[in-house]
Amino acid sequence: MNKSSYKKLIGISGLAAYVPPYKVWLEDWCDWTDNQWPKIREVVGRSFRLRGPNQSVYTMAATAVLRLIDQYDIDPTRVKFLGLGTESSTDNSAGAIIIKGMIDRALESRGKAPIARSCEVPEFKHACLGGVYGMKGAIRHLALDGAGSQAIVVCADIAEYARGSSGEPTQGAGAVAMLLEEDPQLVVVDLLGSGSASDYRIIDFRKPMTRFCGQDRSEGQQVQDFPVFNGKYSTTCYIDETLHALDDMYEKRGLNAIEYLRSLRSIFMHRPYRRMPETGWAVSYLFALSGGDSEDKAELASYCYETGVDPQDLCAEMLGKPAVSSLAEPEYLNVEVYPLTMAVLRSFRASRHYRREILDKMALGSDTMLDLGNLYTAALPAWLAAGFEQAKDEDSLQTGEEVLTLGYGSGDAAEVIPFFMADGWREAAARIKFAEAMSLSVDLSQEQYHALHDGKRISGLDYIPRNEFVIDRVGRSSERHFTDLGIEYYRYVG
To the nearest whole percent, how much of the chain has pLDDT over 70? 94
Q: 71-130: per-residue pLDDT in tens?
A: 999 999 999 999 999 999 989 899 999 999 999 999 999 999 999 999 999 999 999 999
Q: 46-75: per-residue pLDDT in tens?
A: 999 999 989 999 999 999 999 999 999 999
Rounded CA separation 133/213 (Å): 30
Identify any residues that bridge with 124 across adjacent strands, giving them in sequence order: 85
pLDDT reading at 230 higher than 70:
no
Cβ count near 443 (within 10 Å)? 14
pLDDT reading at 4 higher than 60:
no
Q: Find the farthest-apart pair of alpha carbons in the chain and give their distance in angstroms, rounded.
A: 77
Looking only at the bridges linking them, the beta strands covering 79-85 and 123-124 are: parallel
- State whether the Cα torsion 324-326-328-333 is positive or negative: negative
pLDDT reading at 285 higher than 90:
yes
This prediction has a pTM of: 0.93
pLDDT reading at 201 higher than 80:
no
Domain boundaries, the chain: 3-229+421-493, 231-369
Helix (H) or strand (E) holding 443: strand 442-443
Cβ count near 8 (within 10 Å)? 10
pLDDT, position 6: 47
Q: 231-270: per-residue pLDDT in tens?
A: 677 888 889 899 999 999 999 999 999 999 999 999 999 9
Q: 330-368: per-residue pLDDT in tens?
A: 766 677 889 999 999 999 999 999 999 999 999 999 999
What does the DSSP assignment read for 392-416?
Answer: HHHT---TT-EEEEEEEETTTEEEE
Higher pLDDT among residues 219 and 174, named by residue: 174
Q: Where are the beta strands (DSSP E) in 112-200?
A: 123-124, 150-159, 172-182, 187-189, 195-198
pLDDT, position 220: 61
Rounded CA separation 248/406 (Å): 13
Mean model confidence pLDDT for the chain: 92
Higher pLDDT among residues 312 and 230, named by residue: 312
Q: CB within 8 A of 133, min separation 6: which ones? A: 85, 124, 126, 415
Rounded CA separation 128/380 (Å): 9
Give the model's confidence band at 5: pLDDT under 50 very low, under 70 low, under 90 confident, else very high. very low
- CB contact at 8 A, 141 and 150: no
- State whether the Cα torsion 19-21-22-26 is positive or negative: positive
pLDDT reading at 215 higher than 70:
no
Q: 314-331: per-residue pLDDT in tens?
A: 999 999 888 777 666 776
- CB contact at 8 A, 469 and 490: yes
Rounded CA separation 28/35 (Å): 10
pLDDT reading at 454 higher than 50:
yes
pLDDT, position 366: 97
Give the model's confidence band at 211: pLDDT under 50 very low, under 70 low, under 90 confident, else very high. low
Q: Alpha carbon of 158 to those of 54, 57, 60, 73, 366: distances in Å?
A: 13, 7, 10, 28, 20
Q: 147-158: per-residue pLDDT in tens?
A: 999 999 999 999
Rounded CA separation 184/405 (Å): 17
pLDDT reading at 44 higher than 90:
yes
Rounded CA separation 381/269 (Å): 9
Grouping H, G, I as helix, E, B as strand and the rest as coil, residue 49 is strand
- CB contact at 8 A, 297 and 290: yes
pLDDT reading at 217 higher than 60:
no
Give the model's confidence band at 16: pLDDT under 50 very low, under 70 low, under 90 confident, else very high. very high
Higher pLDDT among residues 448 and 411, named by residue: 448
Q: 395-429: per-residue pLDDT in tens?
A: 999 999 999 999 998 878 999 999 999 999 999 99
- CB contact at 8 A, 349 and 132: no
Q: Alpha carbon of 358 to those of 47, 148, 292: distances in Å?
A: 23, 39, 18
Q: Please compute, for residue 205, the number of CA atoms within 13 A of its CA located in the half-sphere on the CB side.
A: 28
CATH code of 3-229+421-493, in short, is: 3.40.47.10
pLDDT reading at 3 higher than 50:
no
pLDDT, position 310: 97
